[in-house]
Structure 1
Amino acid sequence: MQHFGIDFSSLQKTEMTTAETELDHNTNFDWNRIQESGKEVVPLSGSGYTGLVNLGNSCYLAATMQVVFSTYSFCSRYYKHQSLKAAFDMAPADPTVDLNMQLTKLAHGLLSGKYSVPATKKDNAGDADDTSLTAKQVGVSPRMFKSVIAAKHPEFSTTRQQDALEFFMHFIDQVERINSGNPNFDPSKSFKFGVEERLQCSSGKVAYNRRNDYILSLNIPLHKATNKNELQNFEAEKDAMGKELASNEIVHPRPRVSLMDCLDCFSAPEELNDFYSTALDAKTTAIKTAGLTSFPDYLVLHMRKFVLDSGWVPKKLDVYIDVPDIIDISHMRSKGLQPEEELLPDNASLDDGVKVDADEDIISQLVSMGFNYLHCQKAAINTSNAGVEAATNWLFDHMNDPDIDEPIIKEQKSSLHIDQSKLDTLVSFGIEEEVARKALQATGGDIEKATEWIFNPPPGLSNMETTPSSSGSLVDDALPDGKGKYRLLGFVSHIGTSTHCGHYVAHIYKDGRWVIFNDEKVGVSQDLPIDMGYLYFFERYDD
């Protein structure tokens, strides 16, 4: 260091700022509360209570997979209805690179109970967390599974810490791919649901955009905190006492927001400025609302705790989420196009198949922020040129989509004559006439290829392009659906200031009690940090 002119002997330690002290206190508090440090953890073992060995920053994988294999769909597919021998027999020449084989191995390792063996004192030597040594197991090492699921992925194939949300989405995508030939046995389908966005411009005409998703990502409305008085009093006291207050060993209060308020934010009307209306051929304002076209068997809620601060600096929100055991989201079901509504011109005819051109002003502003030009085009198009803010939000939500780098393809109107008998045949299958017509045009009038085109759209073709927005029934028959009442199954919590550092822990409700899964440590939860979750997993609940 002396070579660079740095002399450590002359350096002096400076006092921590108030902000640094608060951050340090909050991080330590999170670490202790989420891991339940200092609590007498009662160890658990047996079927469904097996720990996962940390391979070095693999806690994001361990926490996520513990919750995934606590669902009936994955437990049934890879454990109850598939033996290790059957998986081996169906595997290709090299089973070590077959995801189906590795998922079956992982399921049997976690759910059989054979490997939930308590670690010996010798195994625990050197562990600093003496309060939970008895809950530590030998566990299962997911090394081969990680190698397969992360193959060819630039991030998950490394030993760096990753975002549990991104891993879950990547995992679900891979599971869907390997089960594409047998969708009836695809466990990822139990998480899938339809989302519909409704846009109404000042002309009164509307547009409907639909997509399928596996995660419901929710903004956190801090302005609806239920403990505003406590927060205001603390800020006033902090201003009066300054650094003296910051130096005290206290946990600084955090905003406390209801989960239902977060869900309401998803459905709440949002005003969009500079919306290009095809009815007016000009920019105007529009009101956007969103709803669900189907309710999945398992609903995953992502809390958007990582936001951009002033100056586009990412930060993590220190906030508590009040999560009830049971939620009812029946009111969030989308109603679809109503008889009195009129569609905007671009959405009135699906035969055109041509998307709205991206607004170059929006693209240039996004590019100046450092975003990829193609990604910016897609963001502008998918937000109907609603503005820079809407496009930016879309980018952050979709920048990890597997098709984000695929080129934008505009389909021109086809002049192919459609055989009415073939059209009638597809309609008799329950397919909407507009979709059937477009499928026949895209496949040269071949009815078999048209059917395949409808149910397995080509890469790069969105669900919106194969599903008419004017359809009377907005629910995709291929998606699971039911009542909108759910019970909390488990949640994954994150400790740290960034998704690329820190630690992940899972808490899961099993056999009438809450259980903590902290890598190899499995035990009865004593102080459930339910209000500190990052991903919440709900299962459908019938009275």
Structure 2
Amino acid sequence: MQRAALFRGGDAQMAAGDLGELLVPYMPTIRVPKSGDRVFKTECAFSYDSPDSEGGLYVCMNTFLGFGREHIERHYRKTGQCVYLHLKRHLRQKVPGASGGALPKRRNAKLFLDLEISSDLNSDDFEYEDEAKLVIFPDHYEISLPNIEELPALVTIACDALLSAKSPYRKQEPDSWEEELQASKHAKTLVQLDNGVRIPPSGWKCSRCDLRENLWLNLSDGSVLCGKWFFDGSGGNGHAVEHYRDTGYPLAVKLGTITPDGADVYSFDEEEPVLDPHIAKHLAHFGIDMLQMQVTDNGLRDNDIKPRVSEWEVIQEAGVKLKPMYGPGYTGMKNLGNSCYLNAVMQAIFSIPEFQRAYVGNLPRIFDYSPLDPTQDFNTQMAKLGHGLLSGQYSKPPMKSELIEQVMKEEHKPQHNGISPRMFKAFISKGHPEFSSNRQQDAQEFFLHLINLVERNPVGSENPSDVFRFLVEERTQCCQSRKVRYTDRVDYIMQLPVAMEAATNKDELIAYELKRREAEAARRPLPELVRAKIPFSACLQAFSEPSNVEDFWSSALQAKSAGVKTSRFASFPEYLVVQIKKFTFGLDWIPKKLDVSIDMPDFLDITHLRARGLQPGEEELPDIAPPIVIPDDTKALDIDESSVMQLAEMGFPLEACRKAVYYTGNLGAEVAFNWIIAHMEEPDFAEPLVIPAFGEVASSGAAALGAVGLDNQPPEEMVAIIISMGFQRNVAIQALKATNNNLERALEWIFSHPDPEEESDPALDTMDMENNANANILAETGSEGPRIKDGPGRYELFGFISHMGTSTMSGHYVCHLRKEGRWVIYNDLRVCASERPPKDLGYIYFYHRIPS
């Protein structure tokens, strides 16, 4: 932006010398934004105030953070920063001409703020006018920026650079991800081995580590391997990258992203996501024919058939005049481009009192103790979002036309309708390969991602995610010896299978399918859709039925055998989240959604699913681990080279990286990184790794596994991992000590020792309290193991999230919540009283416990 275009005209408030002298003490604090700086000139860090708001927006000239009028004093007190750029957009009535028409404004009519313009107002009668001025705290002295000739050059340059800076969310704009992709240089000449590999439509796992998520299919040899580890705790062990280094096969496609319109392809050689124009051919080589779907005679693909539209109409309650809702708790959220999954989940989350209290109830404390950059703090952004949804400040009814005319005579005070969660989405999805994109995502996966972040960022004496946590008792039985083993695991969602075989309208379904095919062949309009009607009781029965255990090793037989597993609730959560498993793959590899109607109950009683533990007459499987195969060359220990390379790419010595991965038991790059930080000052930090022979004592390894401080103290990073799963700190330390710092065995130890002994070492207690700021909070709970809120298994439905479309990677999400005795539909920005809540078509259901 040219300075003359922005700063023109205006009267100086002070003489040039006076302005210069006034700004001299603050010149060291005024910075010019550089290319890597993020400038927040459209949104407050603590609220959804913007230049459109009544008080405008104050942008710090040092940190480039934006603050509304309510929060600017907090930033000034915390940082001492005095100079801010105040931005304000006015909406004024045009000056009428002699003939009764409107004359254009002559002064400062240029819009220089990157803000959306409301389409609700008549542009013939009103116009926008942007204003910028410097404000100096604490005296609130204002300097109008038209004083360009009097301002020091540095200040003028800094203001210009700030106003012309690009949005910090530029990478999150809709469709930007897709636009950046380029065709891979390997796509046209890719060599595919004729090795007879055929990929099944489901049941994939990494061929090296048995991981079943974040899997990639190498398009040259058909290997299925796990992807990289990501810093949010998701991902894999990097075996796909390791395979590329071994073979040089450059392209891989992510399993689960393949649709008739394409797939996510990554080039290891080019080190970026790419387009593969020949993806259909490359997938067909391994028996995947989903990109060459047959086109029906009426010109529509199988998953575009028109009856599917009725699902959109029913779930969104189209065709029914819905009454808009305004006020606290009825605030909509803008769709940022396939972000409806986030909107739906967050509306449900902040309808729960425990989350309201944790974040909105603690809002002053969270804001006062937020870091210097609150845009990068989870609790601050959660509190901001919760306040935006619950305060009613951004959900006000539109003004009547006659009232608008009266108000516009001087200046229009805009009415906010909904919030735009750009800052929240940018932070919560940072570093995540899926949520950071603008593609549609699975609401269930995002819910678990959010709970993971809540667990890692404690906000007070109670963790609000405790209300979802429950224990599952898994009973595994050896089919040959009939002996059993009982184990517990933590979960947050009850996943219900769809019992298609139990449909109560099978005859109607068969008749509909015949009519549909006849209509397609004759090019006639398709018949009205008939959905399978599935009894909820059948889905609940399918959940409780035994399932086969793959690769079961029986400790009673000391060999592999057939085994079955059943699951029961060892505890019932305060809030029960139920997911209907509607998404699956057909035998032809075509992903499909089971378009079913399930009579979900308003009141749910699952008391009969309570775990009972070891029963009289049952004999437990011996506590014997599978045999360990010791390699002939004990020095050839399997070290996760992908983790080693991730650390080496950060600049650490290669041998130090190998030691870090070895001494942390191949638990991943994050744990190894923490080991490196703790041992960087040791004299042998970069010396080659020496692995002791089998049976020898690894003194250096034992020392390495101990944390800095007391002898035999488990690694702090392992302790943190167990605490993040919901266990107390002293339990984590005791379990790690009992298992020689083996994380997997430590978790098994915790579940097999429900009443661990108390630590008696006062020095250790003191160190624990110092190392964990929340140790006193955890100690107050008074219970060992994961924090569980057990109670009766009777629930009442209060919300559900519905999905429209054929895949979790496309379509739209809508949330229905029961508030103040009636159902309300949250459809992005649109919040209305629901007339026909489609409770039978939901995807995720939210129940709360009925007090006994």
Q: TM-score, structure 2 length as denominator?
A: 0.47
Are the structure 2 counterparts of residues 75 and 318 from structure 1 closer, same or farther at C-alpha, using a change threshold of 3 Å?
same
| Distance in 1 (alpha carbons) for counterparts of 2:494 and 2:742 | 23
Aligned to 1:99: 378
Pairing 1:43–2:352 present: no
Matched, 1:203 2:481: yes
Residues 258-297 of structure 1 aligned to structure 2 (within 5 Å): 258-272=535-549, 275-297=552-574
- Encode CA deviations 1:34-72: one digit per residue, 9 max, x unaligned: 111111011111111110111111111101100010111
CA distance in 2, matches of 1:285, 1:51: 52
The 8 Å contact of residues 555 and 626 in structure 2, kept in 1 or not, is answered as: no
Match of 1:490 among 795, 799, 804: 799
Q: Does residue 532 in structure 1 map to residue 813 in structure 2?
A: no
Please tell me whether the aligned partners of residues 200 and 288 of structure 1 are also in contact (alpha carbons under 8 angstroms).
Answer: yes
Moved more, 533-542 or 255-264: 255-264
Aligned equivalents of 2:803, 2:390: Cα separation in 1? 25
Partner AA of 2:483 in structure 1: K
Residues 486-523 of structure 1, C-alpha deviations (whole Å, 9 max, x = no match): 11111111111111111110001111111000000001
Superposed CA deviations along residues 68-125 of structure 1, whole A, max 9, x for unmatched, are: 101111111112x213x32211111211111101111111111111111246799xxx
Change (3 A) 1:224 1:279: same
Tell me if 1:306 matches 2:590: no
Q: Distance in 1 between matches of 2:832 and 2:540?
A: 31
Alignment of 1:394-409 (within 5 A): none
* Residue of 465, 470, 478 corresponding to 2:748: 465
Q: Which residue of 2 aligns with 1:342?
A: 619
Distance 1:233 1:510, change over 3 A: same
1:5-42 deviation digits (Å, cap 9, x = unpaired): xxxxxxxxx86359847742233111111111111011
Describe how 1:293-442 pairs up with structure 2 within 5 A.
293-345=570-622, 348=623
In 1: Cα distance, 2:468 partner to 2:831 partner: 26
Which amino acid counterpart does residue 558 of structure 2 have in structure 1?
A: D
Q: Distance in 1 between matches of 2:346 and 2:743?
A: 29
Q: How does 1:496-515 map to 2 (within 5 A)?
A: 496-515=805-824
Report the alpha carbon displacement of residue 335 of structure 1 after superposing the two structures with TM: 1.0
Evaluate the alpha carbon distance shift between residue 528 and residue 341 of structure 1 in structure 2; reply closer, same or farther with a 3 A threshold: same
Distance 2:816 2:786 in 1: 33
Native 8 Å contact 2:735 2:747 kept in 1? no
Q: CA deviation at 1:209?
A: 2.9
- Equivalence for 1:388: none
* Residue 151 of structure 1: how far off its partner (Å): 1.5
Q: May I ask how many residue pairs the two structures share in their alignment? A: 437
Corresponding position of 2:530? 253
Residues 1:163 and 2:446 aligned together: no
Aligned sequence identity (%) = 42
User: In the alignment, what sits opposite 1:453?
Assistant: 733
Q: Is 2:500 aligned against 1:222?
A: yes
The answer on whether the counterparts of 1:496 and 1:503 sit within 8 Å (CA) in structure 2 is: yes
Q: Secondary structure at the match of 1:480?
A: coil
Q: Is the CA contact 1:337–1:469 (under 8 Å) kept in the aligned structure 2?
A: no
- Amino acid corresponding to residue 512 of structure 2 in structure 1: F
How much has 1:300 moved relative to structure 2? Answer: 0.7
Could you tell me how far apart the structure 1 residues matched to 2:333 and 2:627 are? Answer: 48
- 1:147 is aligned to 426
CA contact (8 A) 2:296 2:302 kept: no
Cα deviation, residue 274, structure 1: 6.0
Residue ranges of structure 2 left out of the alignment (5+ in a row): 1-276, 278-294, 402-414, 630-639, 643-666, 673-693, 698-710, 716-727, 757-782
Shift of 1:272: 4.6
Query: Which residue of structure 1 lines up, in the alignment, with residue 236 of structure 2?
Result: none
Task: Render the CA deviation track for 1:179-225: whole Å, top value 9, x for unaligned.
Answer: 1x85x421011111111211111201112232101111121110011
Partner of 1:78: 359
Match of 1:60 in 2: 341
CA contact (8 A) 2:731 2:785 kept: no
**Alpha-carbon displacement from aligned partner over 1:374-422 (angstroms, at most 9, x marks no partner):** 9xxxxxxxxxxxxxxxxxxxxxxxxxxxx899999xxx9999xxxxxxx
Contact kept, 8 Å, 1:212 with 1:463, in 2: the verdict is no
CA–CA distance in structure 1, aligned partners of residues 627 and 305 of structure 2: 48
Q: Which deviates further from its counterpart, 45-54 or 471-480?
A: 471-480
Counterpart amino acid of 1:173?
Answer: N
SS in 2 for 1:38: coil
* Residue 245 to residue 487, structure 1, CA distance change in 2 (3 Å): farther
Paired position in structure 1 for 2:451: 172
Closer/same/farther in 2, CA of residues 165 and 468 from structure 1, 3 Å limit: closer
Report if the CA contact (8 A) 1:33-1:529 is conserved.
yes
> Using the alignment, how far apart are the partners of 1:75 and 1:261 within structure 2?
35
Quote the offset at 1:263 in angstroms. Answer: 2.0
Counterpart CA distance in 2 for 1:238 and 1:24 is 10
User: Is the deviation greater in 35-44 or in 259-268?
Assistant: 259-268
Structure with bigger gyration radius: 2
Deviation of 1:453 after TM superposition, in Å, equals 2.3
How has the CA–CA distance of structure 1 residues 273 and 168 changed in structure 2, closer, same or farther, with 3 Å as cutoff? closer
Residues 449, 218 of structure 1: alpha-carbon distance in 2 compared, 3 angstrom cutoff: closer
Q: Secondary structure at the match of 2:552?
A: strand
In 1: Cα distance, 2:839 partner to 2:465 partner: 25
The change in CA–CA distance for 1:355 and 1:256 in structure 2 (over 3 A counts) is farther
In structure 2, distance between residues paired with 1:357 and 1:307:
37
Is the CA contact (8 Å cut-off) linking 1:22 and 1:252 kept in structure 2?
Answer: no
TM-score by length of 1: 0.72
More helix, by proportion:
1
Secondary structure, aligned partner of 1:153: coil
